Structure 1
Amino acid sequence: MPPISPQLHEELGKRLHKSRDDVLATVRARTAGDTDDRPAIAPNAHMGQNDDAPAGEMLSHNEEHLAEHETNLLHEIDAAIGRLDSGAIGICESCGREIPEARLLATPTVRTCIACQERIEHDQRTGRGPSM
Structure 2
Amino acid sequence: MPTLSASTTAQLRQRLIAARAEVLPHIQGRTESPEEAPVSLRAHLGQPDDMAQASNVGDNEMAQLGQEQALLRDIDSALARLDEGVANVCIVCGNSIPDERLLALPTAQTCMPCQQRTEAQGQGPQGPPCSQLGFVSLR
Give the TM-score taking structure 1 as reference length.
0.81
* Superposition misfits of 4+ residues, deviation over 6 angstroms: none
The equivalent of 1:25 in structure 2 is: 25
> 1:98 — aligned with what?
96
Name the counterpart of 1:130: none
Structure 2's unaligned 5+ residue stretches are: 126-139
1:106 and 1:49 mapped to 2: Cα distance? 46
Q: Distance in 2 between matches of 1:118 and 1:49?
A: 48
Relative distance call for 1:126 and 1:28 in structure 2 (3 A) is closer
Q: Which residue of 2 aligns with 1:43?
A: none
| C-alpha contact (below 8 Å) 1:94/1:112 kept by paired residues | yes
| Residue 35 (structure 1) shift | 5.3
Measured against aligned partners, the alpha-carbon deviations of 1:91-117 in whole angstroms (never above 9, x if no partner) come to 111111111111000000000000000
Q: For 1:26-41, what aligned pairs fall within 5 Å after superposition?
A: 26-29=26-29, 36-39=35-38
How many percent identity over aligned positions? 38
CA RMSD across the alignment: 2.6
**Offset, 1:69:** 0.9
Alignment partners' CA distance in 2, 1:25 and 1:53: 28
Corresponding residue for residue 132 of structure 2: none
Q: Which residue of 1 aligns with 2:70?
A: 72
Which secondary structure does the structure 2 equivalent of 1:58 belong to? helix
Partner amino acid for 1:83?
Answer: R
Write the distance in 2 (CA, Å) between the matches of 1:21 and 1:125.
Answer: 29
Is the 1:92–1:99 Cα contact (8 Å) retained in structure 2?
A: yes
Aligned AA for 1:60? G
Distance 1:20 1:125, change over 3 A: closer
Task: Provide the residue aligned with 2:13 in structure 1.
Answer: 13
Structure 1 residues not aligned, in runs of 5+: 41-45, 128-132
1:113 to 111, 114, 136: 111
Could you tell me how far 1:79 is from its partner in structure 2? 0.3
